[in-house]
Chain A
Amino acid sequence: MSSGLKTFAASVAVTAALALGLSGAMAAETPKKGGVLKFVVPDEPPSFDGHRETTFALIHPIAPFYSLLTKVNPENSSDPTDIICDLCTEMPKATDGGKTFTFKLRQGVTFEDGSPLDAKDVKATFHKIIFPGEGVSSARKAYFVMVDSVEAPDASTVVFKLKYPSSAFIPALAMPFNFIYDDAKLAQDMHWYEKNVLGSGPFQKFERQAGAFIKGTANPNYYEKGKPYLDGIEAIFAKKESLRVQAIRGDRAAIEFRGFPPQSRDDLVKALGKDITVQESDWNCVLLITPNHRKKPFDDVRVRRALTLAVDRWGGSEYLSKIAIVKTVGGIAFPKHPLAATKAELEQLAGYWPDLAKSREEAKKLLKEAGIPDGFKFTLNNRAVDQPYKIVGTWLIDQWKQIGLVVDQQVQPTGPFYDTLRKKQDFDVSIDFNCQSIVNPLLDVSKFISADLSDSQYGGYIDRDVDKLFNAMNETDDTAAQRKMMREMEKIILDEKALGFITMWWYRIIPHRSYVKGWNVSPSHYLNQDLANVWLDQ
């Protein structure tokens, strides 16, 4: 870990300690055994194969059944750079000029059916993820572009060889979707894990009632002796947010792991007092505004700059953080990461100026220059999800009203919403989002590279300067250089060429029953969900 990361870790720890004054999850208490943790999840996972799916609705109920090679530290989960071993015995040092990582595996770990877990299984797993081959789909293959090969020289050793040194590799490896599968099952049928759950994690005996719940019981042979503390888990599916909040209040569930709006936190605390513990964290999810570069007048940089200049991010943060799950003002990288811009750096960028009046004057001037009349109308494409999409969308419309733009909102369910972004491409300006599990800004900003290189950049622009910076950043492990390039990239994207904009970063608020102990909030609702350390103080 570089010194930058260490300082960062320390600062996060302090902030966390301050922010979590309410939190009772301190290490001093002795965990009690027993009990079933009930938690609510908004949706049901489409299949059970973590390598294939992208939703947290898979992580929350399924992650407790599996082990990973590496994971975020459950004791220090608020630090996104603190990655520890799960199945490995020690985090490896890179050799071969930063291009080779050798992992030693724990001995005696078995899958639920009793078959031993060894290097062959890890190799087969990462082959499925990185080199899925014909007929197999792997959702996060792109995160492993730097990997050249995965080998298992003996039963307890796995070797990853990279094409070039990359700081993005270790975080990518710890992504919570990288469940370790049994190579025998994969050899039999690469799709076997879509319909079946069989892992080596803290919980086993997967039981599902369609649309209602997923249950698991403690794995007596879990490799960490004494864990898990719980007897079992029960993930209850509940689509409506208000019902999930009420479920915590009526004690039908103890916790929801995605995050509640600020108001629900306040209501729960008010109703239940010390029976509720609140944990909060910055969230590695961000709402973006994507102007459609293929469409007039949004092909004009002046118009795009005006759009971003009109948005009062500092004021909005204060205000929106009371009603929505957004809070932190930031640039293109996760705000609490060493690669992110400081406040002083942000204030140099269009749309982040401390002087709002000046910013809006400039916006109006730019619109005038571009020949945009007062009262110009366009449509904001948005996703039919309340928190935070529609709230932020409605707020943005009001922001643009301040510079004389009349915007109406076209809200679509998720399917048609993506169809508009990817296929129809006929929107004017759209809300978009980037929500990642492990904090890995080097790769997370791939959202902004040219449309012919990224399948998730929906603005439709091509900018080779951005691409160059992105590649250079990823092919080095020099943090200082990365940071400099990140600033340059940020300046181009957000300001000079106004390719796309950031609104605000999300803020994760987890009010849970105080008897839930040993679970610590992390910067992502995907992380730290194996629940091995969780216990109930009842």
Chain B
Amino acid sequence: MATSELPATMPTDARTHRTAWQVFTRMARRQPLGVAGGFIVLLMIFMAVFADFIAPHDPTAMNYSAFAVAPGAEYWLGTDPLGRDVFSRIVYGARTALFVGFVSAIIGGGAGLVLGVGSAYFGGMIDLIFQRVMDIFMSFPLIIMALAMVAIFGTGTDKVIVAITIPFVPRCARVVRSSALAVREMPYVDAARSIGYSHSRIILRHMVPNVMAPFLIMITAFVGQAILLEASLSYLGLGVQEPTPAWGLMLQGGAELYAESAPWIAVFPGLAITLAVFGFNLFGDAVRDTLDPRLRSQ
């Protein structure tokens, strides 16, 4: 679906260099939502990195005398049915979520990047076959693909990452390919080829940098999607497993049954997911708008 979210022609003037600070101030001025998203993302990263210092309790420690306790001084966001601190689990859950999100987005996106650019660069029969293969993977609903992968490889954080990564590859490859096709016809690529540079050098040095814009857009979108997908797999009972603290897991099973009598069990992890994905999406939109030349020039 992602192909259509992008303009048919891709930015070709990405060589303009700006410092990070310039990019930031520009965005802050032009993209207040994006900056808000960026802050949420930073907050999540902060939580994930410093979980050990932030969390007041051991996220897996069960307090048998305090199950489903309402939020209070001891347990800020209450406890779950196994007597574990919801706040600590959310803080540590950020680590799991970002780990799953970033790893699958980067690996899936990276593989898609290589395949997409390669396919566009070589063209012809290779490209045709490659496109068909991508079509085949794309024609599976994403969640079903992930479900089958989990059934094959098993559950657990690392396996869930594999299950989420695989369906990402063709989605990224497609988008990258369509913009790489445009780059391929650029004079400097022709020039590089006529000088006799190797394929890998042309691909890595000349083509890859020029499809970075759509690639980055895809990656930011993937992180959010991966977090949601992990949550959905957990809902179907096949995601990250106990006792690992993970948001999707916290929403599953017990949380549903306690949704009314102990709403904090379901509400806070749900908010954490929503907030994180919201942040990544806002940020991703801002990245898109910033990198999209047609909107930038105003």
Contact = CB atoms under 8 A, between A and B. Distances in A.
A and B touch in the complex (CB under 8 A): yes
Contacts of A271: 260
Given A241-B257, A264-B257, A323-B254, A391 B82 contact: yes
8 contacts: A242-B257, A386-B237, A393-B242, A397-B243, A408-B244, A411-B238, A412-B154, A413-B151
Contacts, number: 85
B258 A395 contact: no
Classify the interface of chain A: helix, strand, loop or mixed. helix
Given A397-B243, A411-B155, A416-B151, 5 more contacts: A391-B81, A408-B156, A408-B243, A413-B237, A416-B154
A176 B247 CA distance: 42
B243 A266 contact: no
Contacts of A385: 237
A115 interface: no
A245 B155 contact: no
Given A323-B81, A385-B237, A397-B243, A391 B254 contact: yes
Contact of A267 (B64, B237, B244, B261): B261
Contact of A242 (B151, B155, B259): B259
Interface of B: 60-62, 64, 67-68, 81-82, 151, 154-156, 237-238, 241-244, 252-254, 256-261
Contacts of A192: none
Contact of A412 (B62, B155, B254): B155
Contacts of B156: 408, 410-411
A240 B60 CA distance: 26
A315 interface: yes
Interface residue tally on A, bucketed by range: 20 to 34
Contacts of A415: 151
A398 B68 CA distance: 17
Nearest to A243: B256
Contacts of A413: 151, 237-238
Contacts of A397: 242-243
B257 A410 contact: no
A410 B241 contact: yes
Contacts of A319: 64, 67
* Residue among A319, A323, A393 with the highest chain B CB neighbour number at 10 A: A323
A386 B82 contact: no
Contacts of B258: 263
Given A393-B242, A394-B243, A261 B257 contact: yes
Interface in A415-442: 415-416
Interface string A370-405: 000000000000001111001101110110000000
Nearest to A393: B242
A464 interface: no
Given A398-B62, A413-B151, A384 B243 contact: no
A68 to B, nearest CB: 34
Contacts of A195: none
Interface in A272-322: 315, 319, 322
Contacts of A240: 256
Contacts of B243: 394, 397-398, 408-409
Nearest to B150: A413
Nearest to A316: B64
A397 B84 CA distance: 14
A393 B242 CA distance: 9
Contacts of B261: 263, 266-267, 270
Contacts of B238: 384, 411, 413
Contacts of B82: 323, 391, 394-395, 398
A322 B254 contact: no
B242 A409 contact: yes
B64 A315 contact: yes
Contact of B155 (A267, A387, A393, A410): A410
Nearest to B83: A319
B154 A323 contact: no
Nearest to A397: B243
A267 B68 CA distance: 14
A263 B242 contact: no
Given A415-B151, A416-B151, A394 B237 contact: no
Nearest to A324: B81
